[in-house]
Chain A
Amino acid sequence: MTQRQAKRLTHGLIAVWTGAILVFLYLPIFSVGLASFSKARYFRFPILRYDTTWYEKAFSSLSVRELVSTSLTIALLVALISVLLAFFGALAFARFDWRGRRLYQRIILLPIFFPQAVLGLALLIWFSTVGIIPDWRTAVIAHLVWITPIVTLVISIQAYGFDPALEEAAFDLGASRWQTLKEVTLPVLAPGVISGALFAFLLSWGNFPLSLFTTGADQTVPEWLYAKMVSGYTPLVPTLGALTTTGAALILLLGYTLFMLTRRVRGS
């Protein structure tokens, strides 16, 4: 076997392995999708009768509506606030040289390298110590601690490719600091900002370990699903699971399109 043949064989094997892992990644999601169309009270495979009873129930249920609206509110607020904080955080991370930057970069990474359940519990004790009663708003804070650093990294990667000469040129042409930020820095970082906001929204939407301890009497969709998985199973679990998954996929697709469009605009 020549070296080229060996290489082609390796590449083929890598492709096959990657395909297998993709199947592995989507297998459970596919199972949830299957189960969501089963009419039976308890899931058995092969499914005897496929129908959409449980979808109708999910759409007409008031408690489902409440769960979704809680999750949605938290995720939207998290996306908004984390992008605001992370935009400037990323400029400090990647764009400017300043004393203490190396230390700052490492501090930003610490919350990511942290067990989330423990972080949730720590926040719970902290809220109780300062006398805050947990509800969905404290969950927003909890999500932010973990998500803002991730968004900062996403925007930073964009900011690393940013040529400071652009800003200097704007200054030289008489733009104010604010104008420069609005007209030069923001558009250049826009793809990073959009993907950061998307990441923030989706990570918050699906988060379970942080919500578990910090939502108080309120409940998010993943929390409710978990509670029902552990005790009191209902076929609404796979149905709602499939619905939130579809929702997340749609938002991701929409965001990706938007991301590609801003890139194209910037390119032209």
Chain B
Amino acid sequence: MTALGQDLAVSGAQPRARRAWPAWLRSPGVLCALPMLVFLALSFAAPLLTVLGYSFLPPRTFDFGQGLTLENYADVLTESYYLSFAKSLGLALATVALLLLVSWPIAYGMAKTFGAWANWLTLLLVIPLFVSENIRLFGWVLFLIKGGVLLGSLNTWLGIEADGLIYNVGAIVLGLVYVYLPFMLFPMVLGISMIPQDATEAAEDLGASRWQVFREIELPLAMPGLLIGCLLTFILSLGSLAESKILGGQAVIMIADEIETAFTFGQNWPLGSALSVILIAFSGTLVIALLRWLDLDRILGRRP
């Protein structure tokens, strides 16, 4: 994908460049894009192509030259891997749905009602993002575990005895919602700030109810930001690893977990590659479909 993009990006200027060097220089965009594209071709496109190649090797082999096979894909379908995939999908969908509900009021406040406070709030919301994900998840373990901050206090002050609240599906969803909240929130703020105040006011003046304003004006106008947020959090949750490992115990085996096991303990790189290819193809299709539709210049605030 990246390699193809690079060809396309360069071919615009290449023929003229051969004839006259200054034509190249007159396209500074190409020059500026080039280092980045070369880097991504070498360290993003090439690894993905390698994974694709490996997925067609016979199981448990480590180099090319022994013929190609579809055996790994057959294994994925016949063994229970599709179950992990289905569970990951379910958890990712639940996470996105919860994040939409949790983030909308905050994003609305940040874009419309908080005024000068919004900057400080942004800072406060960004700070946890820079604390390593597994430290924060570990903090939840300390909070929720038997004898931890929550249950320890309940026990001491109210005499309530309870078992630990982690190592179940709920804890994994909590971890996912927690870690990916900013990834939903900030695109959503971008989306909501694209709603012109006039549009809402006009609708109100014409007698629209709050619900009608939300459904007919705010939701459609904020849609680009909402979709970016949903897609980003969906894909990150789908491929997440740390949440299920730290908070989930072995309650749910996520697809990324299966991939990791195949690569490490399983020593079956071709199987791990086949699983990765399916995950990448699935999320990649969604991403490319959305990105084709979005006008990035408008969302990120280019001058007209």
Contact = CB atoms under 8 A, between A and B. Distances in A.
Nearest to A123: B47
Contacts of B303: 160-161
B202 interface: no
Q: Is the interface of B mostly helix, strand, loop or mixed?
A: helix
Interface stretch (B27-35, B72-80, B218-226): B27-35
A179 to B, nearest CB: 15
A73 interface: no
Contact of A43 (B12, B135, B142, B276): B142
Contacts of A15: 109, 114
B239 A116 contact: yes
A94 interface: yes
Interface in A85-123: 85-86, 88-89, 91-119, 121-123
Contacts of B156: 46
Interface in B117-143: 121, 123-143
B108 to A, nearest CB: 6
B68 interface: no
Contacts of A226: 134, 242, 246
B269 interface: yes
20 contacts: A14-B109, A29-B135, A32-B138, A32-B139, A35-B142, A46-B152, A85-B39, A88-B32, A88-B33, A91-B32, A94-B297, A98-B30, A99-B12, A100-B10, A103-B5, A118-B256, A209-B242, A222-B135, A229-B138, A244-B131
A18 to B, nearest CB: 5
A127 to B, nearest CB: 8
A25 B300 contact: no
Given A221-B132, A244-B131, 12 more contacts: A94-B297, A95-B32, A98-B27, A100-B5, A100-B33, A101-B29, A102-B296, A106-B296, A107-B37, A206-B131, A208-B242, A230-B246
B13 interface: yes
A229 B43 contact: no
Given A25-B128, A256-B123, A96 B301 contact: no
Nearest to B183: A112
A134 B235 CA distance: 27
Given A25-B178, A129-B50, A225-B132, A31 B149 contact: yes
Contacts of A11: 109, 113
A17 interface: yes
B232 to A, nearest CB: 6
A145 B43 contact: yes
A116 B236 CA distance: 8
A148 B301 contact: no
Contact of A21 (B131, B133, B181): B181
B147 A45 contact: yes
Most buried by A among B28, B130, B279: B130
Contacts of A248: 130-131
A241 B132 CA distance: 8
Contacts, number: 302
A32 B12 contact: no
A159 B13 CA distance: 23
Interface residues of A, number: 100
Given A129-B50, A206-B131, A206-B132, A122 B276 contact: yes
A145 B138 CA distance: 26
Interface residues of B, number: 104
B106 A14 contact: yes
Nearest to A12: B113
A41 interface: no
B132 A244 contact: yes
B20 interface: no
Interface stretch (A52-60, A62-70, A149-157, A168-176): A149-157
Contacts of B113: 11, 14
B64 to A, nearest CB: 8
B153 A45 contact: yes
Given A115-B240, A122-B48, A152 B235 contact: no
Interface string B84-120: 0000000000000000001001101100011000000
A98 B30 CA distance: 7
A16 B21 CA distance: 61
The 9 tightest CB contacts between A and B, nearest first, are A115-B239, A28-B139, A98-B29, A45-B152, A96-B29, A99-B12, A92-B33, A126-B47, A206-B132
Nearest to B131: A245
B149 A34 contact: yes
Contacts of A24: 178
Contacts of A133: none
Contacts of A45: 147-149, 151-153
Given A160-B301, A226-B242, A32 B135 contact: yes
Given A25-B178, A115-B236, A110 B44 contact: yes
Given A28-B143, A145-B44, A226-B134, A89 B32 contact: yes
